[in-house]
Amino acid sequence: MSHVSIREYDAKKMLAHALSRYSDGRVAYDGRVALVTPHKDISACAVEHGWIMSERLAIKPDMVFGKRGKHGLILLKASFEEAKQWIQEKSNKAITVSNLSGTLTHFLIEPFIPHEAEYYVAIKGTREGDTIYFSEGGGVAIEDHWDRVIEMRIGILDDSSAQDIARKLPKGAHSELIAAFVNALFRFYVDYNFAFLEINPFTIVDDKIIPLDVVAKLDSTANFESGELWGNIEFPPSFGKNFLHEEEYIKSLDEKTGASLKLTVLNPQGRLWTLVAGGGASVIYADTISDAGYGKEMANYGEYSGNPSTEETYEYAKTVLGLMVKNPKKGKALIIGGGIANFTDVAQTFVGIIRAMREYAQKLGELDVRVYVRRGGPNYEEGLKNMKQLGKEIGVPMEVYGPELHMTEIVHKAIQNLP
């Protein structure tokens, strides 16, 4: 749940900023990329980037889906006018990719790079550590020749040096440059808290590494640690996803507040709904539900944090509850959880949640909803007392706990009591 895709444009801008530093100047990438959006056409991009008018171009959609070449969605060696016409033809046109349908709104523009050799490199995180994948035969057929891919596993506590990585790579032309690049890429991957990073392919021209196609996912829970490195990055929606009105509403609230309000509806028919305080807690609850084998019952994913006001918490809770009662299926569970807050006034945020629950009391009762609460932090005793009183007042079964209960235990309690 915490691994979020980013645009190729952003990944390449990050690479351009970091590669020279992580390779002690041995590897440099100029990061000549531009992004066409609904609010910025190719002509506006050309004003900022003169090379768009003077060089041959490569253009492709930048909307976090793959196989663009196989779907005829890459234009190569194009002039400015050819690129402009192609983008106009493709923009806002409905297409289907891997059974997902959507419209094209964002396009990546780069200089066209004539080349011969294509290489593959990827880094993927697991619970045990990270794995680096490398092949001298990159490109669209990499999956058909996976037996040629070298794997280098690096444990969480391993301190792999550039020499360690170089020893595992094949020797040949540009081997020192490639080793320096892969080592710098791994340092970049770790410091920026990527969950997945794939460059397929990259090439070498005039002794310079050039990434031609990049796929990247960040660990969104690491924003507190790496957010400054990421900059003002946008996490785009998955291609083909149409936002619900309720999701759009919470997004609009989030944009207006200094707090954080996030909501994604996973399964409107699901029986496990959550009102979770904190991004880290939301990941823990989602993982716990999935690990218990109830991932398909998880209705929503999101969080409220950053000490939101009572009104903001009320609007957030009201929106989630409204979604919950839309489906007449009975026997749902609502988990109101979180860790132990440092600054957020628990009682104050609960005022907003309690107000929303009062409004939906009748529906909650009709649908046999059971509520499970676990919270700690400033004024949590008062907040829990008010929650218990609410349960008695509206007649909805409610179990209320403080920090004495492990934060994931209410997930198991909720699952055990599902009909």
Could you write out the DSSP letters of every residue in 232-276?
A: S---PPPTTPPPPHHHHHHHHHHHH-SSEEEEEES-TT-SEEEEE
Q: Is 242 exposed, middle or buried (0-12, 13-18, 19+ CB in 10 A)?
A: exposed
pLDDT score at 307: 85
For the chain, the average pLDDT equals 91
What fold, for 3-29+115-230? Answer: D-amino Acid Aminotransferase; Chain A, domain 1 (3.30.470)
Averaged pLDDT for residues 284-312: 91
Question: pLDDT band at residue 1, thresholds of 50, 70 and 90?
Answer: very low
**What span, in angstroms and rounded, lies between the C-alpha atoms of 65 and 78?**
22
Q: What is the rounded (10 degree) CA torsion for 352, 353, 357, 358? A: -30
pLDDT score at 129: 85
Encode pLDDT of 212-248 as tens digits: 999 999 987 777 788 889 988 888 888 877 788 999 9
pLDDT score at 163: 61
pLDDT score at 233: 84
Encode pLDDT of 26-75 as tens digits: 999 999 999 999 999 999 999 999 999 999 999 999 998 888 888 889 99
pLDDT score at 216: 96
Q: Give rounded-to-5 percent helix, strand, coil for the chain.
A: 40, 25, 35
DSSP 3-state of 5: strand
The domain limits of the chain are 3-29+115-230, 34-111, 245-416
pTM, rounded to two decimals: 0.68
**What span, in angstroms and rounded, lies between the C-alpha atoms of 121 and 149?**
9
As a residue count, the chain comes to 419
In the CATH scheme, what is the homologous superfamily, with its name and number, of domain 245-416?
Succinyl-CoA synthetase domains (3.40.50.261)
pLDDT score at 2: 64
Question: pLDDT band at residue 164, thresholds of 50, 70 and 90?
Answer: low
In the CATH scheme, what is the homologous superfamily, with its name and number, of domain 34-111?
ATP-grasp fold, A domain (3.30.1490.20)
Averaged pLDDT for residues 111-123: 95
Averaged pLDDT for residues 157-169: 65
